[in-house]
Amino acid sequence: MKATAGLRNILVHGYAAVEPEKVVECSKRVGQDALRIAEAIISALEGRGIDPFEDEPVAKIRDVLSGRVRLAYLFGGRAKGYSLKGDYDVAVYVEGGCDLYELGLLQVDLSEALGDGRVDVVCLNSAPPELVLEALSGVPVIDDPALRAELYARALAELNDVEITTRRAYRR
């Protein structure tokens, strides 16, 4: 496993010039070790009660948001499995736009359902493009593939517009 980590650093960071044939040769050796490595990891984690992501919070969030939002994602630390620290970051898309009062109600209802006051609710209708992309890379709670694709495309277009505008400004 140590050799695999070292190989990864060499390849990713370009610490050495490596011929493609050497990479193929190493990948064959890594493939042979993969099963042994996976078994060692599973064995080390068994019985520790460590679950990288729990489905229970997603179900609770879904119960609260069903019928109230068109799209919802859990993102941030909790979505990545950091359950010991961090808040619940929940991104929602509300048909007709987000009303601040309704967002407040969603936050309170989510906090009560999760038993944790550390809940942040983000409105995707008006969020900055970087935040939209981050949220959409999280865990889908209530998904609408067409809307997700539209929001993703819109966020990328906004970021592209900002980049073009910035380049033009620096050329002057």
pTM of the entire predicted model: 0.64
Residue 16 has pLDDT above 60, yes or no: no
**Is residue 7 a part of any domain in this protein?**
yes
Number of domains in the chain: 2
Residue 50: inside a domain: no
Q: How confident is the model at residue 11 (pLDDT cuts 50, 70, 90)?
A: low
Average pLDDT over residues 155-169: 77
Asked if the structure places residue 109 within a domain, the reply is: yes
> Model confidence over 98-149: pLDDT tens digits?
999 999 999 999 999 999 999 999 999 999 999 999 999 999 999 999 999 9
The backbone region for 121, taken as left when phi is positive above 0, alpha when psi lies in -120 to 50, beta otherwise, is: beta
Q: Band of the pLDDT at 21, cuts 50, 70, 90?
A: confident
Residues 25 and 66 occupy one common structural domain: no
Give domain status of residue 150, yes or no: yes
Copy the structure tokens of residue 100.
Answer: 């601040």
Please tell me which residue, 64 or 164, carries the higher pLDDT value.
64
98 shares its domain with 32: no
Give the chain's end-to-end CA distance (angstroms, integer). Answer: 52
Residue 23 belongs to what domain range? 2-45
72 and 40: one domain?
no
Query: Sign of dihedral through CA atoms 12, 19, 2, 137?
Result: positive
- 172 occurs within a structural domain: no
Number of other CB atoms surrounding residue 66 within 10 Å: 11
Q: What is the pLDDT of residues 59-94, one digit of tens each?
A: 999 999 999 999 999 999 888 877 666 789 999 999
Q: Is the pLDDT of residue 17 over 70?
A: no
CATH number where 59 lies: 3.30.460.10
* Judgement on whether residues 29 and 114 belong to the same structural domain of the protein: no
Does one domain contain both 156 and 101?
Answer: yes
Answer for the pair 71, 63: CB distance below 8 angstroms, yes or no: no
Give pairs for 98-102: CB < 8 Å, separation 24+. 98/123, 98/125, 98/126, 102/68
Coil, strand or helix at 172: coil
Strand pairing category for 119-123 and 139-142: unpaired
Classify residue 19 by burial, with Cβ atoms within 10 Å: 0-12, 13-18, 19+.
Answer: exposed
111 and 159 part of one domain: yes
Task: Assess if residue 9 is contained within a domain.
Answer: yes
Please check whether residues 19 and 75 belong to one and the same domain. no
Residue 171 belongs to a domain = no
Statement to judge: residues 15 and 90 lie in one domain: no
The most distant pair of C-alpha atoms in the chain lies apart, rounded to whole Å, by 62
